[in-house]
Structures are given as C-alpha cells and as structure tokens.
C-alpha cells in the first residue's frame, strides 16, 4: 500500500481531497472515508490494492520516509548507547526497517568495527546516529561520511553544526527534537526530516517534557518535512496512532532493548517485560539532562536528588551486560508497561506492520454513512 504524502499546496493544513486518487489524507494518513476506498466496506483490503487479503500484513508501506531511507517499512530502531550495534541493527535492517548504529558511547574505534560488521550481516540500508552532546570530536561528521552510510540522525545538540556537512556529502539527515522550537530550528538548518520525540520515551529527555499526543500534531501542523514519531511506540496500534497525528514513520527504543537480538543482559529484558506502565522514573526534572529510566532502588533514590550527574553511568557495563540492575540506570520508556515478551526483531517488525494494517482497516468502519 502507498500512503500518499500531502502536496506542498496544502501540507500541514489538515484534511483535503487528493483529487487524482480520491483519498482524504491527513498528513499522509487516510481518513475514515479514504480508508473505505482503500479497504472496502467490509474492512478488508480491496483487490485494487493487493491480490490477496493476507498480503496486506506484509505489503510495503510507501511514503516519504521509506523513499528517503530506502526501507520496506517506515520503522527505525533507536540509537541506544552500547546497545545499537551490529547484532541488533542488522536484525532490524534485515526485517525491512532501518537499523541504526550508535555513537553516544564515544567508542569510535569500536563503532567503526561495528559498521564494518554490518556489511557482513545485512545487504539492507542502515544508518548512524551522531549524539552531539556525547561525541565532542569535531570530525565526527567526517567520520560518519567516511563509513559510507547514506542515512544519519543527529541528536542532543544544535542541528546547524553538522547538517550542511552531512547533506553536502549526499547523506539524508533527520534531527531529533523534543519541542516545536527545536523542530523549527532543525528545519531552518536544512534537515530532510525530523524525529519528534515525546517525553514518555526512555533515555535522555528535555526536562520540560511534552507527551507525543501533544507534541506530534503540533509539530506536524508547522513543518512540511516528513516526521518520524518516537516515544510510546510499541505495536501497530501505536504506529497507526502516530500516523493519525502527523507522522510518516516511527522509532522504537524500549521495544528493541527487550528484543532477542539486543545485547543487554536478560535481567534487563525481564525487568522490561515485568514493568508496569508506572515503573519508570524521571531524573533531573529541574536540572539537565533529563533522564527516563526503569524504576529500581537506585533510581528511586536518585529521583529525589537535585541533580544526577553523568557519573551515574560509571558502571554501565555491569548493568547492561552483567545484569546488575543497581549498578547504573536502565534507560527505558513508559511503554515498557505494554511489553509482555522477549521476541525476535523479525517477529516484532512483522507484528507491528500487521497490527498497523489491521488498525487502519478497523478504523474504516467509522467512515460508513
């Protein structure tokens, strides 16, 4: 199925009629009326869009994000430090989504080897993230360009620093933003797209966090570039919701941390599976950087601290790979409360895509007269 992006003439102004295809679109997501034209009155995909009903669950989703990334599905794996390396990223790419290699660990020699390993593990597109606050080497953009990747996300910093260099080298650049002001600055810097990150997501956050339900449609109403939604995405239903709010793609972090191919210790994966929706804490609410992490004895104590410094990550390897959940903080989003199993990446991606199609087909019923 092809999701039609808004035309430049009415992009960002809500609902309009795409005359040629006669489908109502809200920023790339068909309305209920449009869905009926795609799926028919019974909610099943019509033969004009697929030759068999079962094909709907595996059909590529074609929109501006997949066209820019070269992937089958507009799904991106988040660039978690020490975690987003070749084992996980290659599994994501092989499943038809976009695997990402991290740089936030600062271990650039290791990262170089991980990128090289990707060539042996997948023939599908993958990207690299530049975490600007954690990689102070001014040559990091040249480093990424030299690795031969075509897609990069930049985050935790000023989008004007690297965007021009990366785009001049032919790379597609998306910048991660937690606010409307950040989004407008990134667009002005010339990025190709945005990763709009809601405060319910795990990891490093803006202390003045804004939930995806508010942030995503706000940003979508003010920019014309394609948006990848992050924060709270775990399945096809949440992906469909993100599309309804203005996204054309989604990024998953916590769901990928808990995947079979994730390199973290099983204790962390089990903690995610066992977590309730209330089992994360927000650290540095009145300081920086904001951090959302799993609730443990350590993080409950830190939650009350005036400031949590980066030294809290001093024993990160003992937690990530040794399984000591009190050695450091396990960055995690609220969506952990919706994860109930450790699954292979291929099953996760396939389930999300199938659930996405099922959800939008179900919504078609609301378009009936």
Q: Is 176 in the same domain as 283?
A: no
146-176: b or e for each residue (b if 16 or more CB lie within 10 Å)? ebebebbbbbbbebebbbeebbeeebbbbbb
Q: Do the beta carbons of residue 151 and residue 69 sit within 8 Å?
A: yes
Q: What is the pLDDT of residues 286-310, one digit of tens each?
A: 988 899 999 999 999 999 999 999 9
Q: Is 255 in the same domain as 279?
A: no
For the beta carbon of residue 319, count every other beta carbon within 10 angstroms.
23
DSSP 231-290: SS--SHHHHHHHHHTT-SEEEESHHHHTSTT--S-HHHHHHHHH--TT-EEEE-TTSSSE
The residue ranges of the chain whose pLDDT is under 50 are 1-54
In a domain, 279, yes or no: yes
325 contact partners, CB below 8 Å, separation of at least 6: 267, 268, 271, 294, 296, 319
| pLDDT confidence of residue 40 | 38
Q: What is the pLDDT of residues 189-207, one digit of tens each?
A: 999 999 999 999 999 998 8
Separation between Cα atoms, residue 72 and residue 70, nearest integer Å: 7
| pLDDT confidence of residue 2 | 46
What the block records as the tokens of 178 is 């937690």
| pLDDT confidence of residue 25 | 33
58-72: b or e for each residue (b if 16 or more CB lie within 10 Å)? ebebbbbbbebbebb
Q: Is 203 in the same domain as 291?
A: no
In a domain, 302, yes or no: yes
- CATH number of domain containing 172: 3.20.20.70
Q: Do the beta carbons of residue 315 and residue 327 sit within 8 Å?
A: yes
Q: Is 238 in the same domain as 333?
A: no
Q: Is 179 in the same domain as 310?
A: no
Task: Give pTM, 2 decimals.
Answer: 0.86
Q: Is 282 in the same domain as 244?
A: no
β-bridge partners, 251: 76, 230
Q: Is 94 in the same domain as 148?
A: yes
| pLDDT confidence of residue 134 | 84
Q: Is 183 in the same domain as 270?
A: no
> How far does the chain reach from its first CA to its final CA, in angstroms?
24
The dihedral built from the CA positions of residue 3, 187, 334 and 245, taken in this order, carries a sign that is negative
In a domain, 20, yes or no: no
Into how many domains does the chain fold? 2
Q: Which of 273, 274, 174 is nearest to 225 (CA)?
A: 174
Q: Do the beta carbons of residue 269 and residue 246 sit within 8 Å?
A: no
Separation between Cα atoms, residue 151 and residue 167, nearest integer Å: 10
Separation between Cα atoms, residue 151 and residue 93, nearest integer Å: 13
| pLDDT confidence of residue 137 | 82
322-354: b or e for each residue (b if 16 or more CB lie within 10 Å)? ebebebbbbbbbbbbbbbeeebebbebbbebbb
Separation between Cα atoms, residue 262 and residue 249, nearest integer Å: 22
| pLDDT confidence of residue 57 | 66
Q: Is 233 in the same domain as 305?
A: no
Q: Is 228 in the same domain as 281?
A: no
How distant, in Å, are the alpha carbons of 1, 245, 248, 300 from that of 274?
A: 36, 29, 31, 17
Q: Is 221 in the same domain as 284?
A: no
Domain that holds residue 294: 266-337
In a domain, 290, yes or no: yes
In a domain, 187, yes or no: yes
What the block records as the tokens of 337 is 């409360």
| pLDDT confidence of residue 56 | 57
Separation between Cα atoms, residue 164 and residue 192, nearest integer Å: 11
| pLDDT confidence of residue 39 | 36
In a domain, 142, yes or no: yes
In a domain, 14, yes or no: no
**Helix or strand or coil: residue 199?**
coil
In a domain, 95, yes or no: yes
Report the DSSP pairing between strands 290-294 and 280-283.
Answer: antiparallel
Q: Is 169 in the same domain as 313?
A: no
């Amino acid at each position: 199925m092809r999701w039609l992006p808004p035309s430049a003439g009415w992009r960002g102004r809500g609902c309009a009629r795409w005359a040629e295809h006669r489908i109502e679109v809200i920023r790339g997501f068909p309305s209920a009326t449009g869905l009926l034209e795609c799926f028919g009155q019974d909610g099943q995909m019509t033969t004009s869009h697929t030759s068999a009903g079962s094909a709907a669950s595996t059909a590529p989703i074609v929109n501006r994000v997949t066209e820019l990334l070269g992937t089958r599905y507009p799904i991106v794996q988040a660039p978690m430090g020490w975690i987003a390396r070749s084992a996980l990223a290659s599994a994501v790419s092989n499943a038809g989504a976009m695997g990402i290699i991290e740089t936030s660990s600062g271990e650039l020699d290791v990262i170089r080897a991980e990128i090289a390993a990707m060539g042996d593990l997948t023939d599908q597109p993958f990207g690299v993230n530049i975490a600007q606050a954690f990689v102070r080497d001014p040559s990091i953009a040249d480093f990424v360009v030299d690795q031969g990747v075509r897609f990069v996300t930049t985050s935790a910093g000023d989008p004007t620093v690297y965007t021009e260099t990366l785009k001049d080298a032919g790379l597609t650049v998306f910048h991660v933003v937690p606010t409307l002001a950040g989004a407008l600055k990134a667009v002005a810097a010339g990025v190709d797209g945005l990763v709009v990150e809601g405060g319910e997501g795990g990891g490093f956050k803006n202390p003045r966090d804004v939930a995806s339900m508010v942030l995503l449609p706000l940003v979508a109403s003010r920019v014309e570039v394609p948006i990848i939604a992050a924060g709270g995405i775990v399945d096809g239903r949440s992906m469909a919701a993100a599309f309804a709010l203005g996204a054309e793609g989604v990024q998953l972090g916590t769901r990928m941390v808990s995947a079979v191919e994730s390199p973290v210790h099983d204790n962390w994966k089990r903690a995610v599976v066992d977590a309730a929706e209330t089992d994360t804490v927000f650290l540095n609410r009145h300081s920086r950087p904001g951090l959302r992490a799993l609730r443990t004895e350590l993080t409950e104590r830190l939650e009350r601290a005036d400031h949590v410094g980066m030294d809290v990550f001093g024993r990160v390897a003992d937690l990530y790979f040794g399984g000591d959940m009190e050695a450091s903080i396990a960055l995690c989003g609220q969506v952990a409360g919706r994860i109930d199993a450790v699954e292979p990446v291929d099953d996760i991606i396939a389930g999300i895509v199938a659930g996405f199609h099922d959800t939008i087909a179900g919504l078609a019923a609301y378009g009936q007269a």
